[in-house]
Structures are given as structure tokens and as C-alpha cells.
Amino acid sequence: MDWAGILRRISAQAVDLIFPPVCSGCGRLTGYAHAVCASCWAGMPFIERPYCEVLGLPFAYDPGESAVSPEAIANPPVFDRLRSVAIHEGIVRDLVHGLKYRDRTDLAPMMAEWMIRASDGAVAAADMIVPVPLHALRLWRRKFNQAAELARVIAERSARAYRPDVLRRIKRTSRQVGLGARAREDNVRGAFAVPEGAKRELAGKRIVLVDDVYTTGATVAAATRALKRAGAGDVTVLTFARAMSGPI
């Protein structure tokens, strides 16, 4: 008899009786913990194919296999590809804000599972999962890094190496919220560095760089530059949400 397993199931059932599982979006009762109800699920603005193979931007029509958006052609990103679960609006924005500003770290497992699926195989092919780091002072004030919470679960669920130690935030930057694209770039320029001891480990490796939201891309671009200067061979940026004005 698997007594340990039986005890875990009994404990889980007891917790559900005392604290019934509710929707992570609206708070309605659901049948499962860390899930969303049918109504919230229907309102999730998922990013699905067809989309740009480089920037992950959804197309308004299907331009054919391996299509690349005009934006990616005109301004190729420093990272190799970007994948996101959904557009940053409605319940998606609520989940991001819950994790980031309301200490809802319990949301990370659900969000990370969706990110693994949205990665389009990048997580499975990765040598390591790396979160976008916070500066030490901001981490001390916030107590946790939302990108690290997501990256840790992604690594655990996919059996990939979780490596928060290979990238550091060495410059204390202002909050990006409210800044324009150029100001965001200036704000994070030179903000990241790879420790000398980690450079050999990065040589030629496939990296999945994790953050919660992609807005203008200034932060992940600066982080990617640091990784590539250290020898990383391929960098996929993976976020839960991305801000955008609409399909292209």
C-alpha cells in the first residue's frame, strides 16, 4: 500500500473542504485548485498560430508557414525568438498583477504550465532556464522575483536546469512602467552582466530567458545582449503576457 500517497490525497481533500478551490481569475468556486473557470477561460486572449516566427506577433490572416513579420525584418531583435501565452489585457493582466504586486505566488505553477506549452518546443530544447533578475535592493524590498517564480516552475516541470546564477542585474534602474520605448532602452542599458565563472557554462548553450510581461522588449534585449556576449548560442524569450495594440 502506498500509505504516503494515500495520506497526501486525504490531506489535499481536507484542505479543499476547508478552503474550496476557486477560480484564479474571478474567485468563483471551481472543481480544481490553481485553475480558471469556464467564463474566464473563454476570455483569455491566447496568442495562437498564425504568428511571426521571430516575434510571436499574431497575424490577422495566415501568410504561410514560417512567416516573419515586417517588424522583425525591419528591426531584428537581439534574441532569436519570442513566445508569449497571451495578450496583456483582461484576466491575463489581472493574473500578472496578482503575481507581481499582490504576492500571489500560488499563481506561478498554473502560469508556468501555460508558458511551457506556448514555448513552441523551446523549453524542451533548452539547456537552461534563466529568469530576468531583479536588482538586489528591489529584490529585498519586494521579497521575491516574479520572473524567478515562473522560471523555477518551468524548469521543474520540464526537467531543465534552473540557472538564476548566470545573469545578474548590476545596475539599479527606474521602474519601466510609464516610460517610452527610448527611455526604457536608456534605463536598462548596461543593467545586466554574466559572472566570470558562468561564461564557460554559457558557451554555445540554448537559453530560455523568462519574464512575466513583454512590453517594448528593452529589458529582455539588454539581458540577451549580456548572455550573448558571454557566448550563449541561442536565446528564446518566454513571457506569460505581451503588450500589443492588435493583430498585424
Interatomic CA distance for residues 211 and 131, integer angstroms: 6
Report the candidate in 144, 159, 145, 150 with the shortest Cα–Cα distance to residue 109. 150
Q: What residue ranges define each of the domains in the chain, with the CATH number in brackets? A: 1-42 (no CATH), 45-242 (3.40.50)
Res 198: pLDDT: 93
Cell of 48: 495562437
Interatomic CA distance for residues 117 and 136, integer angstroms: 31
The distance of Cα 113 from the centroid of its chain, to the nearest Å, equals 10
List all residues 6 or more positions away from 156 whose beta carbon is below 8 Å from its beta carbon: 162
The end-to-end CA distance of the chain, in Å, is 57
Strand 81-87 vs strand 234-242: parallel, antiparallel, or unpaired?
parallel
pTM: 0.86
Res 182: pLDDT: 64
Sign of the C-alpha dihedral computed for residues 216, 218, 219 and 220 taken in this order: positive
For the chain, 248 residues long, the average pLDDT of each consecutive 10-residue run is: 52 48 80 79 93 94 91 96 96 93 91 97 98 84 90 98 95 64 67 92 97 94 96 98 70
